[in-house]
Amino acid sequence: MSHITIYHNPACGTSRNTLALIRNSGVEPEIILYLETPPSREKLVSLIADMGIPVRALLRTNVEPYHYLNLAEGSFTEEQIIDAMMDHPILINRPIVVTPLGTQLCRPSEIVLDILPDAQQGAFSKEDGELIVNDQGQRVK
């Protein structure tokens, strides 16, 4: 059985869809409610490095702290952006999924299929009704 971790926000549809896709592969992941239990600074830096993305790519731009901290301004260093994420975990985009095959920011949720070690066990549609996996467990393009 593969060990999978999801940094999850149950209020987010994309995060809920991603969790459901993981479960559709037959795995119950470790669920970290990152707003309640944020990753340590070291863990956050490690996750960003594992995803191979710039820090700013993990920054949520449609939340209040982004605006009142004026994070749209390009003069912030990566360290300062990480500081903001540590002070305001809502700034961390989600869901982040860690599997033996890699670490990804799963937006859109079907990106998780690229890093799940186990095949989908049946059809799956997102909450909005969009079919992602067919009855044979294969990704629909």
Catalytic residue numbers, as ranges: 12
Number of residues in the chain: 141
Separate counts of helices (H) and strands (E) for the chain: 4, 6
Core vs surface per residue 25-41: b (16+ CB within 10 A) or e: bebebebbebbeebbee
Q: Retrieve residue 86's tokens.
A: 């540590």
Which helix (H) or strand (E) covers residue 22, if one does?
helix 13-24
Q: Retrieve residue 105's tokens.
A: 């920011």
